[in-house]
Amino acid sequence: GALREPMLKIIHIMRAMGYQDAAAQPIVFEDQQDSIGQFPFGATTASRYLDPGHLVGYLNVIISLISSGVSYKCNGDTVVGVSVTSSVDQQTRTTELCPQGELTFRGFGNASEVVDELDALLTGGRLGATTKAAVLDVYLALGGPVENVKAAQQAIAMTAEFNTLGETDVIENAATVSLSKKSKQMTKNLRAYKAAILLFMEGGADTFNMIVPQDPSLFEQYTFVRQDLAKQTSELLAINTTGQSGTSFGVHSSLDFLKRLYDLGQAAFVANIGSLVEPTTKASFSDSSAQNCIGPFSHEAQTSAVQTLQCQVSGTEAHGAGGRLADALSGNFTTATFSMSGLEIWPEGVVAPYVAVDENHKRVEYFERWRHHIQRFTSAEYSNTMAEAFSQRLLESVQNAEIQEHVLSEVMFTTNYNTD
């Protein structure tokens, strides 16, 4: 199986459902890179399609497209297309076309026949029996020959069958087993709360100016390398240590809180580290007699390596170091991992629950209307790995978006961090 690309799914719906622009004008999309994780001429990876923010963004775009066409904020706050104006009369007054276009498909026959036709056009007849029954219920819940078709189209666009390719056979009773395992995991005795927090700078931290050697010979090397970027001693906060090649260092003056933590023994600096599989010399690296990391000079590969701590394993197959740590502790503790920047590698394990939320606070528009239906669409477990991954991510993304909105919407920071 394979994930379908978001932009192609949008075009598929428009073509299969007979989209027509109300003004018979060319259809112009706003850049959807931030919304769905993909747009023509924009660099992207398949993993971004499963990012919580982009999954929720995809749902909002699809709901808006089917409801109001490629229009500008006709449906909630979602921006799908560039709005156009049409003249009202010979004067300069104009009115915005909203909706700006529509899907002309209406279907023929009774409710079951319409859903069957939608299934054939949108999934190639691959909707499972449970999913099709859920779509039919959505169709029957609304009156009128237009709104019920739109609702069914939106429902199918949320299913694993529409969003993936390949067989989508359902594993019988698997969902019940999975839920029972989750419920057992939460019955452990609660203990004192502890958290490990990773602030990942994506290579954007100038660490050579974050902590600066102050011993004369090392400081001379530092100033030679940094030239006019070098920090002078008067611009640094002095700290001392033992057991290092140098004993005196200076912390960047803007990190006074970090210096205080260091003085209290509550913070440490780990410098001159990198990814190695085993002790390696220049010679053993050159002749490949030592096992080397994959992509040692690739920023992307090393970004993954520092989050998995297994640079010899390609991609995310090793899972994240934080997720594996939570897995190891889950036998005796209730553990979970979280990401506040979408889908990341470090928190992802196998056993411990992983919650990924998006910093843009995206929610599914009309969530209450779709809450029950999304739970039904995602209740089954699929034999197709990609279908199962999409189904689980969709449910988690929608639920986590609501949790995030509830928990963080009124949070006030007690510390004012200088971001100059």
pLDDT, the chain, mean: 82
Query: Is the Cβ–Cβ distance between 292 and 281 less than 8 Å?
Result: no
Which amino acid belongs to residue 178?
S
Q: What is the pLDDT of residue 278?
A: 92
Q: Are residues 279 and 414 in the same domain?
A: no
**Considering the domain boundaries, does residue 357 fall inside one?**
no
**Considering the domain boundaries, does residue 232 fall inside one?**
yes
Q: What is the pLDDT of residue 186?
A: 41
**Considering the domain boundaries, does residue 342 fall inside one?**
no
pLDDT beyond 90 at 119: yes
Helices (H) and strands (E) in the chain, counts: 16, 13
Q: Are residues 285 and 401 in the same domain?
A: no
Q: Are residues 308 and 212 in the same domain?
A: yes
Q: Are residues 76 and 167 in the same domain?
A: yes
pLDDT beyond 90 at 139: yes
Q: For the chain, what is the domain count? A: 2
Q: Are residues 226 and 156 in the same domain?
A: no
**Considering the domain boundaries, does residue 349 fall inside one?**
no
CA–CA distance, 72 with 51 (Å, rounded to integer)? 24
Query: Is the Cβ–Cβ distance between 163 and 197 less than 8 Å?
Result: no
Q: Are residues 15 and 124 in the same domain?
A: yes
What is the band of 45 on the pLDDT scale with cuts at 50, 70, 90?
low
- 12 vs 186 pLDDT, higher one: 12
| Residue 368, CA distances (Å) to 73, 352, 365, 372 in order | 20, 28, 9, 8
Which range has the worst mean pLDDT, 120-124, 142-146, 376-380, 389-393? 142-146
**Considering the domain boundaries, does residue 348 fall inside one?**
no
Instruction: For Cα atoms 356, 361, 363, give the angle at the middle one, nearest 5 degrees.
Output: 90
State the average pLDDT over residues 360-365.
71
Q: Are residues 291 and 366 in the same domain?
A: no
Which range has the worst mean pLDDT, 12-21, 171-180, 331-340, 385-394? 171-180
Range of the domain at 255: 207-329
pLDDT beyond 50 at 179: no
State the average pLDDT over residues 87-113.
73
**Among 329, 346, 375, residue at a domain's last position:** 329
**Considering the domain boundaries, does residue 346 fall inside one?**
no
Instruction: For Cα atoms 366, 367, 373, give the angle at the middle one, nearest 5 degrees.
Output: 110
Q: Are residues 306 and 375 in the same domain?
A: no
Complete DSSP assignment for 124-164: SS---HHHHHHHHHHHHHS-STTHHHHHHHHHHHTSHHHHE
**Considering the domain boundaries, does residue 196 fall inside one?**
no
**Considering the domain boundaries, does residue 250 fall inside one?**
yes
CA–CA distance, 321 with 314 (Å, rounded to integer)? 14
Query: Is the Cβ–Cβ distance between 354 and 337 less than 8 Å?
Result: yes
Q: Are residues 160 and 223 in the same domain?
A: no
Neighbours of 401 (CB within 10 A): 23
Query: Is the Cβ–Cβ distance between 41 and 66 less than 8 Å?
Result: no
Q: Are residues 211 and 252 in the same domain?
A: yes
Q: Are residues 37 and 159 in the same domain?
A: yes
Burial of 282 (0-12, 13-18, 19+ CB in 10 A): exposed
Q: Are residues 142 and 211 in the same domain?
A: no
Global pTM value:
0.65
CA–CA distance, 216 with 170 (Å, rounded to integer)? 68
CA–CA distance, 165 with 410 (Å, rounded to integer)? 41
